[in-house]
Amino acid sequence: MTLQDLQAILPLIVVAATAVTVMLVISFYRNQTVSAMLTLSGLLMAGACLSINWGSAPYKVDPLLRIDGFANFYIGFLLVASFVVTVLSHSYLEKYRMERGEFYVLLLLSVLGALTLAAADHFVTFFLGLELLSVSLYVMVGYIFTKEKALEAAVKYLFLAAATSAFLLFGMALFYAELGTMEFSSIAARLQDDAPIRSAYITAGTILIIAGAAFKLSVVPFHMWTPDIYQGAPAPVTAFLATVSKGCVVAVLLRFFSAIDLQAYSGIFNALAAVTAASMLAGNLLALLQDNIKRILAYSSIAHFGYLLVAFLSGGDAGAAAATFYLVTYFAATLVAFGTIGYLSPTDQEADTIEDYRGLFWRRPGPAILLGIAIFSLLGLPLTAGFMGKFFVVGAGTGAELWALLIILAASSATGLYYYLRIVIAMYTIGDDAEIHRQKTAPPPFAASVGTTLAVLAIFAIAVGVYPEPVISLVNTATESLEAFVQTDVTPEPTQAGQ
């Protein structure tokens, strides 16, 4: 390892070092605010280190990681989301009298896993990152074990995630057996050099890898875990599951599939299109049956990743940019939604039935407006980021002429309206029992940190909805380097992906 290598992966090193520091500090001095502060400053420092690398030429840490514009963008973006989750967790955990310091160690380790995935250029880092992310998450999901359903959720997540890791490993093994390499860029080169090599091994391997990733993204048919675990996990952990742990998988998928040309495998392409359609439909239709807001958001996330896959399937630069942009808008809305839920949750219980939100708009306008903005953004109404996100996804899909998927997108997201509106309706209805609920869900003293963070995110969501240009140019720069990665390393002639 050279000094240059170290500099390139400095953000990752800082996060890892922070995890160790927090762990050491806990063993001498237990104070959850101190742990949280250390975590936050570690994430900030990682961000600062990132800004050193920002804009520099793509750099390969041979052979495992690639630090380029794409990786840097995702690292920065995941760091911001992790920062928000840390702030949310701090105020959430304040309500519990238990050992809380370790939570931050776990959180930092999962973040490290996520960052590794964002920069992965090799099956080893792919797998390592994913495991680092998942193993810490098993514990985080069940961290507040006194809570109803927490352990059930944790165990469920453990079993299913472990099973899909096996899928993933097997898929990677098949690639290795056929091509003798585990590096994305050389996989791409071998596939390109020798077209007939697209054997059953590669097809099966691709399917298995997609299955492994699909589990993390919770798309149909690997979505079964989502509602239970969203419901059982503490709200900040749910926020983390819904955003960071999915975002980094999108990053690695985009990179992996910019290396292998998905359009060339029509069978896999069609299967993925079916998965996409099924996710949009199942997510939106099943959410209609729910009364629990966390479960509703779980099903809606299934649908949202269906939308994102539409962009993914569109392929090329536009597809990757649309998927990334969509992810940014989805992150903002989801973090605000779960942040508000966590903030409103009383001790030992989540404010997660629709009843808990009855009349919220009239008695606590602040959180209600935040949740409202989040929901409208998820719905994709104008003036919110979600509108722009949906626009670019539909744009990418139209550009690639995926008409059938687009029609399903339109129909299913219109269905989605109904369950989102149920929450909104509850918020502005005044029931006779509003007073009772007010007492039941009286939140702890207002945490200024959470309020400010969520307000900033909500303002961001609106700002992107009104003037998305800065974010778009950031995203475009990032995804251009993804193209560059394919073109410079893989093939002498331009690939088809750019069309």
Partner 1 sequence: MMLPLLLAIPLVGGLAAWIAGLRSATAPRWIALVATTIPLVIALPLWAAHPGDSWIAAFEAPWIPAAGIEIYLAIDGLGILMILLTFFLGIVSVLVSWSSIKKRTGFYYFNLLLILAGTAGVFTSLDLFLFFFCWELMVLPMYFIIGIWGHENRNYAAIKFFLFTQASGLLLLIAILGLHFAHAAETGIHTFRYEALLDTELSPGLGMGLMLGFFVAFAVKLPAFPFHTWLADAHTEAPTAGSVILAGLLLKTAGYGLIRFTVPLFPEAAATFAPLAMTLGVIGILYGAKLAFAQHDLKRLIAYTSISHMGFVLVGVFAWNTWALQGVVLQMIAHGLSTGALFILAGGIQERLHTRDMNRMGGFWRDAPRMAALALFFAMASLGLPGLGNFAGEFLILLGSFQASVVTTVFAALGIVGATVYSLWIIQRVFHGPPPVSPRLPDLSLRELVVLATLAAGLLALGLYPRPVMQTAQPVISIIQNTAGSASVASHMLPMEPPREAATVANAPSVFSQYPAIDSPRSPPFLLGARMDAAGPTATPDPSFEP
Between β-strands 59-61 and 65-67, what pairing exists: parallel, antiparallel or unpaired? antiparallel
Min dist. Cβ of residue 445 to partner 1 (A): 23
**Of the candidates 29, 54, 446, 467, which one interacts with partner 1 according to CB under 8 A?**
467
Say how many CA atoms lie within 13 Å of 446 toward its Cβ: 8
| Cα–Cα distance measured from residue 22 to residue 102, given in angstroms and rounded to the nearest whole number | 8
Q: Closer CB to partner 1, residue 268 or residue 400? A: 400
Going by C-alpha positions, the residue among 325, 345, 164 that lies closest to residue 238 is 345
Please enumerate in sequence order all residues whose Cβ is within 8 A of that of 180, keeping only pairs 6 or more positions apart, or say none: 190
Q: How far is CA 94 from the centre of its chain?
A: 25
Helix (H) or strand (E) holding 28: helix 10-28
Instruction: Note whether 378 and 337 are within 8 A (CB).
Output: yes
Q: Closer CB to partner 1, residue 109 or residue 409? A: 409
Min dist. Cβ of residue 308 to partner 1 (A): 16
Min dist. Cβ of residue 274 to partner 1 (A): 20
What is the greatest pairwise CA distance in the chain? 71
b/e 47-66 (16+ beta carbons within 10 angstroms → b): bebbeebeeeebbbbebbbb
Residue 60: strand, helix, or coil:
strand
Instruction: Note whether 440 and 345 are within 8 A (CB).
Output: no
| Cα–Cα distance measured from residue 279 to residue 283, given in angstroms and rounded to the nearest whole number | 6
Q: Closer CB to partner 1, residue 72 or residue 413? A: 413
**Of the candidates 387, 437, 481, 497, which one interacts with partner 1 according to CB under 8 A?**
387
- Using CB under 8 A as the binding criterion, the count of chain residues that bind partner 1 stands at 32
Q: Is 480 an interacting residue with respect to partner 1 (CB under 8 A)?
A: no
- Number of residues that this document lists for the chain: 499
Site for partner 1 in 399-458 (CB under 8 A): 399, 406-407, 409-411, 413-414, 417-418, 421, 425, 428-429
Q: Is 307 an interacting residue with respect to partner 1 (CB under 8 A)?
A: no
Sketch the per residue contact string, 361 through 380, with partner 1: x for CB under 8 A, - otherwise: -x-------------x----
Site for partner 1 in 246-305 (CB under 8 A): none
Q: Closer CB to partner 1, residue 159 or residue 467? A: 467
Q: Closer CB to partner 1, residue 33 or residue 473? A: 473
Q: How far is CA 306 from the centre of its chain?
A: 13
Min dist. Cβ of residue 378 to partner 1 (A): 13
Q: Is 459 an interacting residue with respect to partner 1 (CB under 8 A)?
A: no
Q: Is 395 an interacting residue with respect to partner 1 (CB under 8 A)?
A: yes
Q: How far is CA 355 from the centre of its chain?
A: 28
Min dist. Cβ of residue 296 to partner 1 (A): 15
**Of the candidates 17, 160, 381, 462, which one interacts with partner 1 according to CB under 8 A?**
381
Instruction: Note whether 212 and 165 are within 8 A (CB).
Output: yes
Min dist. Cβ of residue 494 to partner 1 (A): 18
Q: Closer CB to partner 1, residue 219 or residue 310? A: 310
| Cα–Cα distance measured from residue 105 to residue 22, given in angstroms and rounded to the nearest whole number | 6
Sign of the CA dihedral 423, 394, 464, 231?
A: positive
| Cα–Cα distance measured from residue 432 to residue 489, given in angstroms and rounded to the nearest whole number | 66
Min dist. Cβ of residue 409 to partner 1 (A): 7
**Of the candidates 7, 391, 455, 495, which one interacts with partner 1 according to CB under 8 A?**
391
Q: Is 468 an interacting residue with respect to partner 1 (CB under 8 A)?
A: yes
Min dist. Cβ of residue 36 to partner 1 (A): 34
Site for partner 1 in 324-363 (CB under 8 A): 362
Min dist. Cβ of residue 481 to partner 1 (A): 16
Q: Is 398 an interacting residue with respect to partner 1 (CB under 8 A)?
A: yes
Min dist. Cβ of residue 251 to partner 1 (A): 21
Q: Closer CB to partner 1, residue 376 or residue 485? A: 376
Min dist. Cβ of residue 414 to partner 1 (A): 3
Instruction: Note whether 129 and 248 are within 8 A (CB).
Output: yes
Instruction: Note whether 330 and 379 are within 8 A (CB).
Output: no
Q: Closer CB to partner 1, residue 6 or residue 410? A: 410
Report CA-CA distances (Å) from 332 to 236, 325, 346, 496.
14, 11, 24, 33
**Of the candidates 181, 476, 487, 495, which one interacts with partner 1 according to CB under 8 A?**
476
Cis peptide bond prior to 221, omega within 30° of 0: yes
Residue 444: strand, helix, or coil:
coil
Q: Closer CB to partner 1, residue 38 or residue 396? A: 396
Residues that bind partner 1 (CB under 8 A): 362, 376, 381-383, 387, 390-392, 394-395, 398-399, 406-407, 409-411, 413-414, 417-418, 421, 425, 428-429, 467-469, 472-473, 476
